Amino acid sequence: MADGEEAPLPNSWEKDLAEALEEGGCDFETVRNIVQGRPLPPVLRAKVWKIALNVVGKGDSLASWYGCLDLPEQSIIHKDCQELIDQLSVPEEEKSVLFLDIESVITFYCKSRNVRYSSSLGWIHLLKPLVQLQIPRSDLYNSFYAIMNKYIPRDCFLKGRPFHLFRLLLQYHEPELCSFLDTKKMTPDSYALNWLGSLFSYSCSPGVTQAIWDGYLQQADPFFIYFVMLIILVNAKDVILAQESESKEEMMKFLEASPGSLEVDDIEDLFSLAQYYCGKTPASFRKDNHSLFGSSLLGLKDDDTDLSQALCLAVSVSEILQANQMQGEGVRFFVVDCRPAEQYNAGHLSTAFHLDSDLMLQNPSEFAQSVKSLLEAQKQSIESGSIAGGEHLCFMGSGREEEDMYMNMVLAHFLQKNKEYVSIARGGFMALQQHLADINVEGPENGYGHWIASTSGSRSSINSSVDGDSPNGSSDGKGVKSLVNKMTVALKTKSVNLKEKVISFIENTSTPVDRITFTLPWPEKSSMERHVSSSDRLGKPYRGVKPVFSIGDEEEYDTDEIDSSSMSDDDRKEVVNIQTWINKPDVKHHFPCNEVKENGHMFPSHLLVTATHMYCLREIPSRRGLSYIQSRQALNSVVKITSKKKHPELITFKYGNSNTSGVEILAVERYLIPNAGDATKAIKQQIMKVLDALES
């Protein structure tokens, strides 16, 4: 610097921040108003972070501790702390003191929280940005404790709940990318464990990490890290999808290291995009999972929702009602009621579009046309500014598991077609009824009364103030059916008296739909004949025990029995050539089919029957002609074959064993078989041969 030239003065906001911090008593809101999300000056970072973490003035938690470093895993802690010290630019004379401070912080935390230390926890990486602040040991511990408590989700380990939640978020916004990673069996915990566990300190340079933490701590929203993670994946989407031929290991290495390419100048854009996606996400994402963060006392009540089995993101009925009453930006839902027609007609959300999920099996062509009409109705409702309009599709069932299986199949197809913004109404229509009852919807001051309608002439049990059009002919607002509701009625009645534009979009079957089209692998209607009846019951005793093998109708699925889908679908399978197996000399019968899971997903498959066993080969979409051996069942373990009365092509096989106390069901498999009558007859005959042989 030339003589007489002064160092440039800091920005005015930096001076304001320095003065506010110098005066003392500066609270978090004051800091946020001054900084407004900008990267912090290094000299002020320690003070601001301590305020953001609410550790200013906190006592020394380690003051009464004797300092015994005697945990069973102490040698691992010691080694990891030494590695951290080696990464830091610290004067030689200060290393020993800093080393002891770090080891003491980790050891005391483990003892006070009764946690067993492991290097995979990533605490060393989490401590690194804090150590670089050069703060006293008491502040180091308090800051570390605060971050662990507020910003690191519980169960942050392999196959942990936080990563199942992140997958649902990824699926909601980027279904194509999510599907691609699912196909590669790359779950979020396999590449994002260190992202979340270290708040990106593991992968990013110190400067980038500090910039991320500056913004993240100012957000004061623990869920915001999920959207930062999402943007990193979205940014790398094209590269990821182009790596189809790469090995799983190489792709995981690329993904895990991808935050390392960030630079300090990227953080502002990164956070802006994260804010955008945050605003496009249902509030239920946070509200329903708040127990992931915070003290363990708040999380003692186990959440009974298994996110690993969730088909898609769930939304509360209260959010659905509130969102569509709000004007302007934000998440707005287009609700799709998938219950049977009689239930829908008895009472439904007045803004909901009806899509009878039973049509998917009963009349595939009509179902496909209904889907086109649905998407057209969604488009029109958005353009008209209707309260029913929303770009976020939310599917609503009855709330009863056995009835909602077909809705899940419909939902699964939308997801398989990479439709973004797809969710499900938690608890279905039953939850909606309960919510309206809980908030006393019939009160005069309440604004929800217009939401329940009936199309069958009967009044809703919750509210009877709505049915039919208003005298002024308005197609929107309180007390009337929405345009979407009229379109739904049109689909059911084909009435010529409906508005011209409603009829035209229903009858114009050639109108292209840009967003999604369906090509359904269902049997033709002509094949929907009765194949299996209760009069077909046959069977022979199992070694003196009453007959247990039978063929008959199935009124409901036995939801309390074991489904083979609960078994691992990733680790147990052998890859085989489909045609080679079909041509094996011991294969007596081959039936192309679709394996149907409880959640509605269907997988193109092949049933092969030998003299003693039945095999299911599931096709591998990315490897033409190859399949997994999905299941191998002995024919003498089949205890029951049933079909649905409405859907005779949907066949359920139940496997188990028999003893004097009865039949024990060990597995259940369901298949959609185009020629179900021929298939069940052939399988039944082969089973009888096996039973005859066993008896003789």
> Would the pLDDT of 301 be above 70?
no
Least confident of 37-51, 288-302, 388-402, 652-666: 288-302
Q: Which residues contact 685 (CB under 8 A, 6 or more apart)?
A: none
Could you tell me which residues are beta bridge partners of residue 521?
A: none
> Would the pLDDT of 477 be above 50?
no
> Would the pLDDT of 460 be above 50?
no
pLDDT of residue 305: 66
What Cα–Cα distance (Å) separates residue 512 from each residue in 491, 515, 517?
A: 18, 9, 9
Mean pLDDT across the chain: 79
Q: pLDDT band at residue 676, thresholds of 50, 70 and 90? A: confident
**In the structure encoding, which two tokens stand for residue 490, read together?**
């049109």
pLDDT of residue 666: 85
At residue 103, φ and ψ (nearest 5 deg) are -65, -35
Parallel, antiparallel, or unpaired: how do β-strands 452-453 and 348-349 relate? antiparallel
pLDDT of residue 452: 75
Burial string for 428-446 (b: 16+ CB within 10 Å, else e) reads: bbebbbebbeeeebeeeee
Least confident of 122-126, 257-261, 333-337, 480-484: 480-484
pLDDT of residue 499: 33
Across residues 380-404, what is the average pLDDT?
88
Block residue for tokens 């945050």: 278
Contact 422, 312 (CB under 8 A): yes
pLDDT of residue 451: 66
526: DSSP letter: G
Distance CA 626, CA 604 (A): 12
658: DSSP letter: E
**In the structure encoding, which two tokens stand for residue 423, read together?**
């969710």
Burial string for 32-57 (b: 16+ CB within 10 Å, else e) reads: bebbeebbbbeebbbbbbbbbbebbe
Residue 404, Ramachandran bin (φ over 0: left; ψ between -120 and 50: alpha; else beta) = alpha
> Would the pLDDT of 66 be above 50?
yes
Could you tell me which residues are beta bridge partners of residue 396?
A: 337
pLDDT of residue 504: 36
Least confident of 59-68, 128-137, 263-272: 59-68
pLDDT of residue 596: 87
Q: In one letter, which amino acid is 310? A: A
Range ranked top by mean pLDDT from 479-483, 527-531, 570-574 = 570-574
Q: pLDDT band at residue 440, thresholds of 50, 70 and 90? A: low
Mapped onto helix, strand or coil, the DSSP state of residue 519 is: coil
Across residues 585-608, what is the average pLDDT?
88
Q: How many residues does the chain have?
A: 696
pLDDT digits (tens, 9 = 90+) for 316-342: 999 998 887 776 677 999 999 999 888
Start-end of H helices in 28-122: 28-35, 42-52, 74-87, 92-113
pTM: 0.70
pLDDT of residue 568: 41
pLDDT of residue 1: 40
Nearest in space to 459 (alpha carbons), one of 340, 348, 339, 335: 348
Contact 258, 188 (CB under 8 A): no
Across residues 169-198, what is the average pLDDT?
94
pLDDT of residue 281: 96
Nearest in space to 377 (alpha carbons), one of 336, 414, 416: 336
Across residues 463-479, what is the average pLDDT?
35
**In the structure encoding, which two tokens stand for residue 666, read together?**
């060990």
Distance CA 577, CA 626 (A): 5
pLDDT digits (tens, 9 = 90+) for 207-229: 999 999 999 999 999 999 999 99
pLDDT of residue 463: 38
536 burial level (CB within 10 Å; 0-12, 13-18, 19+): middle
Mapped onto helix, strand or coil, the DSSP state of residue 545 is: strand
559: DSSP letter: T
> Would the pLDDT of 244 be above 90?
no
Across residues 655-673, what is the average pLDDT?
83
pLDDT of residue 442: 52
Terminal-residue alpha carbon distance, the chain: 103
Angle between helices 123-131 and 137-150 (to 10 degrees): 130
Distance CA 594, CA 617 (A): 10
Position with higher pLDDT, 437 vs 217: 217
Q: pLDDT band at residue 262, thresholds of 50, 70 and 90? A: very high
**In the structure encoding, which two tokens stand for residue 137, read together?**
């040991």
> Would the pLDDT of 665 be above 90?
no
Contact 421, 311 (CB under 8 A): no
pLDDT of residue 458: 41
Neighbours of 537 (CB within 10 A): 12
Distance CA 694, CA 696 (A): 6
Q: In one letter, which amino acid is 439? A: I
Neighbours of 509 (CB within 10 A): 11
In order, the DSSP letters of 223-262 are THHHHHHHHHHHHTHHHHHTTTTS-HHHHHHHHHHGGGG-
Q: pLDDT band at residue 149, thresholds of 50, 70 and 90? A: very high
Block residue for tokens 């689909």: 491
> Would the pLDDT of 148 be above 50?
yes
Across residues 50-54, what is the average pLDDT?
93
> Would the pLDDT of 483 be above 90?
no
Position with higher pLDDT, 463 vs 348: 348
Contact 393, 414 (CB under 8 A): yes
Least confident of 201-215, 339-353, 484-498, 520-534: 520-534
> Would the pLDDT of 603 be above 60?
yes
Least confident of 28-32, 78-82, 446-450: 446-450
Calculate the dihedral angle through the C-alpha atoms of 18, 23, 24, 25, rounding to the nearest 10 degrees.
-100
